[in-house]
Amino acid sequence: MSDSANFPPRGLFLVIEGIDGTGKSTQAQRLAEWLRERGRGVVTSREPTDGPWGRKLRESAATGRLSPEDELEYFLRDRRQHVEEVIAPALAAGKVVILDRYYFSTMAYQGARGFDPAEIRRRNEEFAPVPDLLLVLDLEVDAALERIGARGDTANEFEKRDSLQKCREVFLSLAGEAFVRVISTNGTPDEVGAAIREAVGGVL
């Protein structure tokens, strides 16, 4: 893209998504380092955030889950604040923003709790900017469960398997869109990193 087409200055918005166990946070850090070595100003962040709504969501994971409605509402509030305070200002300052999870996780996880993913997307895109590139890190659910140390044989883990399967389907349903790349995480972290850098190289 030429400078004039990119005016006013706007950074690059990269989002990494995928079910638990796909190595998102490791790859987000590696990608940030790679871009910094190339002289780019990089802001990394994650959702849920460490802000008040994000903290409530993380606490609820330990103390008992919120109702589906409250949980969805808290994710939306957390994200609204994240966009206003972190994402939009960094993009306006011309930075590369790398997020570990964003509203596609809400489509997937709250979708798995019974909400319509398309409706969740619509509500988010009213206030949350669409990324320039969405990297979906993909892995079969059984392999993902193994990586996070769950064998899937207790009732709880069986439920988790079922829910991650639905999440994976929602992530994969995005595959045809122009800004989305699905990256298999069957390979080594180095191989996954190389595939990510190749995809990001295409939008730099």
Amino acid residing at 22: T
Note whether 51 and 136 are within 8 A (CB).
no
Based on the shown chain and the rule CB under 6 A, indicate whether residue 20 belongs to the binding site for ligand TYD.
yes
Give the pair of three-digit tokens for residue 29: 């850090």
Report the nearest approach of ligand TYD to the CB of residue 48 (Å).
6
Based on the shown chain and the rule CB under 6 A, indicate whether residue 121 belongs to the binding site for ligand TYD.
no
Task: Round to whole Å and give the CA distance between 116 and 145.
Answer: 25
Based on the shown chain and the rule CB under 6 A, indicate whether residue 105 belongs to the binding site for ligand TYD.
yes
Q: Could you give the maximum distance between any two Cα atoms of the chain, in Å? A: 57
Q: Calculate Rg over the CA atoms of the chain.
A: 17
Task: Round to whole Å and give the CA distance between 170 and 135.
Answer: 14
Residues binding ligand TYD: number (CB under 6 A)? 10
Q: For residue 183, give the H/E element and its range.
A: strand 180-184
Q: Which of 27, 44, 106, 185 binds ligand TYD (CB under 6 A)?
A: 106
Based on the shown chain and the rule CB under 6 A, indicate whether residue 115 belongs to the binding site for ligand TYD.
no
Based on the shown chain and the rule CB under 6 A, indicate whether residue 47 belongs to the binding site for ligand TYD.
yes
- Our CB check for ligand TYD shows the closer of 47 and 138 to be 47
- Our CB check for ligand TYD shows the closer of 39 and 149 to be 149
List interacting residues with ligand TYD (CB under 6 A): 20, 46-48, 75, 101, 105-106, 109-110
